[in-house]
């Protein structure tokens, strides 16, 4: 039997534009993904077997768990049967826009071939990941990436460097389908060219200034999340929390994905810690809902992959990505 314990990092959307509803009923997006240090832990036991058996142990019941679906997808691709047991330590809140389920699924796609001492090519892994969920392919890359289409068309970029964030997670999750309905994006044919051009200019400014910081200007000033207006109408608490983050001096305060988590970005750990202490202090009167708070750092692609290689030792060696068995 082989066993590994791998990290499943969360993400935030530094900016997120929902352009229009496509003919296939998905939405055309423009976003910048960023992995953060908050993570689930997934322990995997693997052994060859005549019959396939996949089990998942998790303290939080999750219907149609992506871990199970990803495991079947890998074994189908490799044409293998095996006994696989997963133990998921769920630390990323569900329904928060932090990508926890997608990250868990990507972890299976990366780790299970190495445990089986087989390989799946990177492009094929991305195809499988895209079939599981729009955010899954991003977690096969990590770091910072531009996401187009449904978010599955990815272009890795140099990230904003060292940064810290405070993440606020309200207890009530936000349904992504409901958020899209509330947003009410029209089809492309119903939009004016000016509306599309305006959104694209802001998005391009974020990417250009992030990649070329000497170009003049702060990329954070152009970041938006199109879901905020619609979701804040339904959940006023979220708008209140975003204002609280801004009041602590956050350089950027936004909701991630379709919610419900929000994050504030700070240039140093000291400033993030001061903001976290201030936010925690304002809630010590015991009034209002219980808001989970996490202080995190941005995880670069180098750091992301280093953590993965370390977790998969001694099954893999070298710097090949995706990780390959020895």
What span, in angstroms and rounded, lies between the C-alpha atoms of 207 and 227?
Answer: 20
Exposed/middle/buried for 108, CB within 10 Å: 0-12, 13-18, 19+?
Answer: buried
What span, in angstroms and rounded, lies between the C-alpha atoms of 156 and 287?
Answer: 43
Contacts of 130 (CB under 8 A, 6+ apart): 136, 137, 150, 152
Q: Looking at 11, 199, 220, 244, which residue is catalytic?
A: 11
Q: Looking at 24, 89, 104, 135, which residue is catalytic?
A: 135
322: enclosing H helix or E strand: none
Identify whether 104 is a catalytic site residue: no
What span, in angstroms and rounded, lies between the C-alpha atoms of 34 and 14?
Answer: 7
Identify whether 135 is a catalytic site residue: yes
What span, in angstroms and rounded, lies between the C-alpha atoms of 194 and 95?
Answer: 33
CB 297 within 8 A of CB 269: yes
Give the catalytic positions in this structure: 11, 135
């Amino acid at each position: 039997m082989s066993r590994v314990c791998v990290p499943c990092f969360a993400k935030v959307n530094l900016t997120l534009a929902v352009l229009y509803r496509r003919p296939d009923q998905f939405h055309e997006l423009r976003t910048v993904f960023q992995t953060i240090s908050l993570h689930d832990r997934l322990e995997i036991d693997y052994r060859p077997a005549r019959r396939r058996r996949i089990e998942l142990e998790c303290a939080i019941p999750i219907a149609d768990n992506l871990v199970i679906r990803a495991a079947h997808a890998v074994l189908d691709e490799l044409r293998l049967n095996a006994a696989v047991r997963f133990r998921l330590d769920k630390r990323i809140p569900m329904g928060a826009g932090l990508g926890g389920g997608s990250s868990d699924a990507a972890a299976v796609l990366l780790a299970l071939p190495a445990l089986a001492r087989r390989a799946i090519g990177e492009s094929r892994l991305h195809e499988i990941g895209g079939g599981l969920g729009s955010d899954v392919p991003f977690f096969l890359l990590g770091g910072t990436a531009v996401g187009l289409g449904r978010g599955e068309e990815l272009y890795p970029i140099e990230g904003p460097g060292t940064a810290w964030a405070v993440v606020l997670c309200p207890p009530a999750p936000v349904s992504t389908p409901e958020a899209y309905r509330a947003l009410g994006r029209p089809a492309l044919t119903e939009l004016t060219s000016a509306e599309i051009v305006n959104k694209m200019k802001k998005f391009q400014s974020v990417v250009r200034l992030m990649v070329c910081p000497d170009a003049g200007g702060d990329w954070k000033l152009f970041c938006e999340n199109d879901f905020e207006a619609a979701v804040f109408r339904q959940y006023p608490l979220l708008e209140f929390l975003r204002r609280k983050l801004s009041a602590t001096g956050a350089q950027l305060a936004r909701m991630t994905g379709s919610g419900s988590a929000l994050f504030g970005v700070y240039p140093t750990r000291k400033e993030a810690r001061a903001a976290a202490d201030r936010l925690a202090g304002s809630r010590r009167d015991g009034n209002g809902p219980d808001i989970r708070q996490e202080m995190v750092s941005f995880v670069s692609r180098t750091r992301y992959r280093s953590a993965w290689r370390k977790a998969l030792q001694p099954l893999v060696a070298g710097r090949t990505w995706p990780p390959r068995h020895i």
